[in-house]
């Protein structure tokens, strides 16, 4: 896997200043609880925060803190022996899709194997995160991200595997820590029990994310918001098919175990945090209230 030179990102985006990134590097060195972070990673955070150093400080701390406190989602240190992640790579395609004519990106998700017995919610979210970070490390940041989830093949047994605690943690991470510029969030080919899925999600969504959410009975109506060309080939787009993209990302992950382990090992040391250490209760509240999923 080849990382994009950080100087190339500076050349492409004249609003992203090297001096601001170096200032953030100096700040990080004074935060003993944070892991060592590359200049490229810091540039990605600063870009995602629209060049605000103060916002980037919050996002950086949140990103690594949440990943540390959520090993149930982000804990893949040995992908060669991570059966759940390997199964997720066969069961779903979740990954970025870039189309050369735009600097926006689709973060796409769909079932490739519709058997609910093979579906795992937390491993799918881990895969979503890994493929996105890998793409950004290789290609640099996108000006805007559109999440698109195709629900074709989803049945009620998949819904029963959604864990409210995991949902709360990941939506917090998506909104507060993930270094992306999220513009819109789409579900296409929605299912009859979509109301139950939304009832599970919306308590953990900010107004901005709810306002960005769009539901579609088919893919066609989503093209009003996102150009068709950005979609995989089977949707009439100009990009590669989901099957090809799924295999490409599976190979990227399996061929780079050391890099994946490095990402997973970038965690905070709360014993060194200046001020009060943080724990899961501070960020996510009491988990016990959400441990059981009630279904009408």
Q: Give CA separation, 202 vs 14, 181, 279, in Å.
A: 37, 20, 24
Confidence of residue 286 (pLDDT cuts 50, 70, 90): low
With bands split at pLDDT 50, 70 and 90, how would you rate the model's confidence at 294? very low
What does the pLDDT look like over 168-185, one tens digit per residue?
999 999 999 999 999 999
Helix, strand, coil percent values for the chain (each to nearest 5): 55, 10, 35
Contact yes or no for 54/36 (Cβ under 8 A): no
Q: What is the mean pLDDT of residues 11-33?
A: 97
Write down the mean pLDDT value for the chain: 94
Least confident of 218-222, 232-236, 284-288: 284-288
| pLDDT value, residue 43 | 98
Confidence of residue 258 (pLDDT cuts 50, 70, 90): very high
State residue 1's pLDDT score.
79
Give residue 149's pLDDT.
98
What pLDDT score was predicted for residue 287?
Answer: 52
Residue 88 has pLDDT above 70, yes or no: yes
How do residues 123-169 score in pLDDT, each as one tens digit? 999 999 999 999 999 999 999 999 999 999 999 999 999 999 999 99
Place of tokens 């395609």: 93
Alpha carbon separation from 209 to 35, 75, 120, 212, 263 (Å, rounded): 29, 26, 24, 5, 27
Please state, as a whole number, how many other Cβ atoms lie within 10 Å of the Cβ of residue 138.
13
Quick one: average pLDDT of 194-208? 97
What's the pTM value of the predicted model, to 2 decimals? 0.94
- Residue 228 corresponds to which tokens in the numbers above? 């068709």
Burial 36-65 (b: 16+ CB within 10 A, else e): ebeebbbbbbbbbbeeeeeebbebbbbbbb
């Amino acid at each position: 896997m080849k990382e994009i030179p950080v100087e190339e990102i500076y050349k492409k985006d004249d609003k992203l200043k090297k001096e601001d990134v170096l200032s953030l590097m100096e700040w990080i060195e004074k935060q003993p609880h944070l892991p060592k972070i590359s200049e490229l990673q810091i540039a990605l955070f600063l870009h995602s925060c629209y060049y605000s150093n103060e916002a980037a400080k919050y996002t950086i701390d949140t990103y690594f803190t949440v990943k540390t406190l959520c090993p149930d989602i982000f804990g893949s240190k040995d992908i060669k022996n991570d059966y759940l992640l390997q199964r997720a790579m066969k069961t779903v395609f979740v990954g970025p899709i870039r189309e050369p004519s735009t600097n926006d990106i689709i973060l796409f998700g769909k079932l490739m194997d519709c058997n609910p017995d093979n579906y795992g919610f937390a491993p799918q979210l881990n895969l979503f995160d890994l493929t996105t970070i890998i793409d950004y490390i290789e290609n640099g940041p996108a000006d805007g991200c559109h999440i698109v989830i195709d629900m074709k093949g989803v049945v009620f047994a998949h819904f029963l595997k959604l864990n409210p605690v995991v949902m709360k943690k990941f939506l917090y991470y998506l909104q507060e820590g993930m270094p992306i510029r999220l513009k819109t969030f789409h579900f296409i080919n929605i299912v009859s029990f979509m109301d139950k899925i939304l009832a599970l999600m919306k308590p953990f969504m900010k107004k901005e994310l709810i306002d960005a959410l769009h539901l579609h009975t088919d893919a066609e109506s989503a093209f009003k918001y996102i150009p068709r060309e950005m979609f995989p080939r089977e949707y009439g787009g100009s990009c590669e098919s989901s099957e090809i993209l799924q295999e490409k990302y599976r190979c990227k992950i399996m061929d780079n175990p050391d890099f994946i382990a490095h990402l997973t090992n970038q965690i905070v040391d709360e014993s060194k945090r200046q001020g009060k250490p943080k724990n899961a209760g501070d960020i996510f509240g009491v988990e016990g209230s959400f441990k059981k999923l009630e279904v009408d």
